[in-house]
Copies of this chain bind each other. A is one copy, B any other.
């Protein structure tokens, strides 16, 4: 039931024990919360935020993004790979050019909620 790695409960914790145990019982799976953190981590970089913002306005190729953000194609490409792995962007190839676009309707909504928080002072 209790393995050796668990923390000893402090006196304070014992006092509020019932509430804490109820919350513990309701806690989502470890993995689900981990995945959620991983998702937000992808949003937590200004380069990727700029890319996502740009793609929320228009589909774009890699060199367009590089020009827009004033960064190297390589740097942009690395970040696009991450964004694609997270299923936040998709791409289509047209000759030499690869166009990227948002791959999720939720992106704009997550974005929007964040903006509201940031804009409140």
- In the complex, what distance in Å separates the CA atom of A97 from the CA atom of B5? 24
Asked if B41 and A41 sit within 8 Å, CB to CB, the answer is: yes
What's the number of copies of this chain in the assembled complex? 2
Asked if A61 and B97 sit within 8 Å, CB to CB, the answer is: no
**For residue A43, which residues in chain B have a CB less than 8 angstroms away from its CB?**
36-37, 40, 43-44
Count, chain A residues at interface, CB 8 A: 64
| A25 CB to nearest B CB, Å | 10
Interface residues of A (CB under 8 A from B): 5-7, 9-10, 12-13, 16, 19-20, 22-24, 26-28, 32-46, 48-50, 53-54, 57-58, 60-61, 63-64, 66-68, 70-73, 96-97, 104, 106-107, 109-111, 113-119
